Chain A
């Protein structure tokens, strides 16, 4: 990708981030509820009206909307995303300590998903409409229709409690501790991907270059591995980017089931406690990560698909 294009993309990212921050700030501002009341509710005390007013003053919540936004933005540009109302710690710390667990869980679950989905999709396509294909399609149906919290609970019960193979609570990033939540997420995605892989392989099988390679005497298995599968994987990259983006935004349900400390559960608690700075920071993170992952996908396309590299 050209430097010029990269520069353009980064400019776009900045503009979109500004827009998103403004929109989300506005929506939170308009949302019903009182963060100050919520803050005190956490402590269990019922403060006087004056104390609450004082608190609003301190947090700048009584200033006009645009001033509030301006204050927040200028601090953001200095790297200060504010202080969490509910925990009194800097938002940037709270987010960043959850980024690594989120990233690890996301990547591991994607790897598990690919390990399940690619073979199933490929086998299914090769045996199109045969018994094996029907079995594989049955699996994808199961994977798509089983909700992830249920899969998580089943795994917890059988593998964690009954068989005692893996830990039940995944409070940190040990590989073993991540396996169950990652498998839960990977399994839920695998069905959708297996279907995509099957479809893509079937489509590639009908391409002329397959007949061409066979006519040159190249064996069917070589054609499959060297030609069909690489070509079929290209369109999956876009989907993988979207999945990675959504995984990096956190996977609240699974995180809560396994008590795994990633971004999803943090976001849920931020919303329930009306922790404006934290919500705001989280939204920015999601927007940023989606755009960066998208950019990464585009860049990798230009390396993997020569037709794009040469600008055709």
Chain B
């Protein structure tokens, strides 16, 4: 469904990602694991055409459902962004305008993609929040992001991302700003998304525990390159690269059954 063909990304002459190739199938969960600066965030931001600053894709191609995601017009992006491909971030709260309510931004989002009046859009947004287990959805819709806890903000982000039942969810460090308990809940909830919405997930994380728990496949990245990839089970049990082995050793209890 999503194919990266030898993608290279650079920022102002500095290579951040080189010759990155990956294919993600339907309902598959793939994790990109690596420390900061390994190019994993560039990979998913590049997918959405949202590289920050002077970042640009200098080589290769990214195909979604057979069509290239490069050189899209803003109109063409609108069909993809937030509809077929959604994105959640390290802090989904920061991804919303701090001086407008969650509800008003939810309405804006829904009305961008669907011809709907504001009242229905509000109701649709509220129901999405409830589906994500946010029981006081009415109040949350009227809140500003800074009034919510980290876990709630992340659930709001996921609820928004799933509104249009996207084919693919790109998750950029979705759990790293959360405490351990909330982390575990969010991870479980993201796993459920695949079952409920048939969504593929590409998750970027520095936390090998989260990756091992969620992903079908893991790609270990370092300095903009893939240094190891394979089925989660194989990568965790029989790491080939020394770097991967170090990453695994860094996670307490990694070799035992409980990954998260």
Interface residues, chain A, with chain B CB atoms under 8 Å away: 206-209, 211-220, 222, 226-227, 230-231, 234, 304-307, 310, 312
Contact = CB atoms under 8 A, between A and B. Distances in A.
Nearest to A310: B147
Tell me the dominant secondary structure on chain A's binding face. helix
Interface stretch (B61-69, B81-89, B226-234, B242-250): B81-89
A219 B78 contact: yes
B95 interface: yes
27 contacts: A206-B53, A207-B94, A208-B91, A209-B97, A209-B98, A211-B95, A213-B97, A214-B81, A216-B81, A216-B82, A218-B109, A219-B78, A219-B112, A220-B74, A222-B108, A226-B97, A226-B108, A231-B97, A231-B99, A304-B99, A305-B99, A306-B98, A306-B144, A307-B98, A307-B144, A307-B146, A310-B147
B146 A208 contact: no
Contacts, number: 86
Contacts of A310: 144, 146-147
Contacts of A212: 89, 92, 94-96
Given A216-B81, A217-B77, A209 B112 contact: no
A219 B77 CA distance: 9
Interface string B25-55: 0000000000000000000010010101100
A192 B259 CA distance: 57
A207 B94 CA distance: 8
Contact of A216 (B52, B98, B99, B160): B160
A217 B82 contact: yes
Nearest to A220: B74
A211 B81 contact: no
Contacts of B77: 217
Contacts of A219: 74, 78, 112
B127 to A, nearest CB: 18
A215 B99 contact: no
A219 B73 CA distance: 11
Contacts of B78: 217, 219
B146 to A, nearest CB: 6
Contacts of A312: 146-147
Contact of A215 (B50, B79, B147): B50
Contacts of A222: 108, 112
A208 B160 contact: no
A187 B117 CA distance: 43
Nearest to B90: A208
B139 interface: no
Nearest to B80: A217
Contacts of A231: 97-99
